[in-house]
């Protein structure tokens, strides 16, 4: 778990420093949705690709409200930087 201090292991959404909240005032939605979608994808990535995509799509259909799916789909339409390929394909299946 412990890195050698290399910032390559810093997690996303890093704070500006101790005591500073992680940008609570700005709409975190695209970044947090990307993180959540990528997390789902990484937990099924060991499956054959099509199975992983379908399981991710199924999860999004079953647990994500339409508003969240739409927000992330709009993000994909705008380029979808940082979105895992499995998650990207899954979103296409739930349009």
Partner 1 sequence: MSRVRVVDLGTPAVPGAATVDVVVDGLPVSVPAGTSVMRAAATAGVDIPRLCATDSLEPFGSCRLCLVEVDGRPGTPASCTTPCTPGMTVRTQTPRLEKLRRGVMELYISDHPLDCLTCPANGDCELQDMAGVVGLREVRYGLDGANHLDGATDDSNPYFSFDDSKCIACSRCVRACSEVQGTFALTIAGRGFGSRVSASAGESFMGSECVSCGACVQACPTSTLQEKTVIELGVPTRSVKTTCAYCGVGCSFVAELRGDEVVRMVPDKDGGANAGHSCVKGRFAWGYATHRDRQLEPMVRERITDSWRVVSWDEAIAHAANGLKAIQAEHGVGAIGGITSSRCTNEEVYVVQKMIRAAFGNNNVDTCARVCHSPTGYGLKQTFGTSAGTQDFESVMHADLVVVIGANPTDGHPVFASRLKRRLRAGAQLVVIDPRRIDLVRSPHVAAAEHLQLQPGTNVAIVNALAHVVVTEGLVDRAFVAERCEADSFAEWESFIALPENSPEATAEITGVPADAVRRAARLYATAGNAAIYYGLGVTEHSQGSTMVMGMANLAMATGNIGRPGVGVNPLRGQNNVQGSCDMGSFPHELPGYRHVSDAGVRGIFEAVWGTTIDPEPGLRIPNMFDAAIAGRYLGMFIQGEDIAQSDPNVAHVKAALGSLELLVVQDLFLNETAKFAHVFLPGTSFLEKDGTFTNAERRINRVRPVMAPKSGRQEWQVACELATAMGYPMDYANAAEIMDEIAATTPTFAGVSFERLDAEGSVQWPCNDAAPHGTPIMHVDGFVRGKGHFVDTPFVPTDERTNRKFPLILTTGRILSQYNVGAQTRRTPNVQWHHEDVVEIHVHDAETRGIRTGDSVTITSRVGETVLRAKVSDRMPQGVVYTTFHYPGSGANVVTTEYSDWATNCPEYKVTAVELAPTSRAPVTEAEMHAEHQPVAGRP
Interface residues toward partner 1, by CB under 8 A? 1-7, 9-15, 18-19, 21-22, 24-29, 32, 35-36, 39-40, 42-43, 46-47, 59, 61-68
Smallest gap from Cβ 39 to partner 1, in A, equals 4
Smallest gap from Cβ 24 to partner 1, in A, equals 4
Q: What gap in Å lies between CA 91 and CA 60, rounded to an integer?
A: 8
Smallest gap from Cβ 2 to partner 1, in A, equals 5
Tell me the chain's radius of gyration from C-alpha atoms.
15
Q: How many other C-beta atoms can be found within 10 angstroms of the C-beta atom of residue 52?
A: 23
- Both structure tokens of 84: 């895992």
Complex with partner 1: residue 13 or 92, whichever CB lies closer: 13
- Rounded to 5°, angle at Cα 11 from 79 and 40: 60
């Amino acid at each position: 778990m412990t890195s050698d201090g290399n910032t390559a292991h810093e997690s996303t959404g890093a704070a500006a420093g101790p005591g500073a909240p992680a940008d609570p005032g700005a709409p975190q939605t695209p970044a947090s949705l990307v993180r959540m979608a990528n997390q789902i994808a990484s937990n099924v990535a060991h499956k054959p690709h099509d199975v992983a995509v379908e399981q991710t799509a199924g999860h999004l259909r079953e647990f994500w409200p339409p508003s969240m799916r739409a927000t992330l789909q709009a993000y994909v339409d705008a380029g979808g930087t940082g979105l895992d390929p499995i998650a990207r394909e899954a979103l296409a299946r739930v349009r």
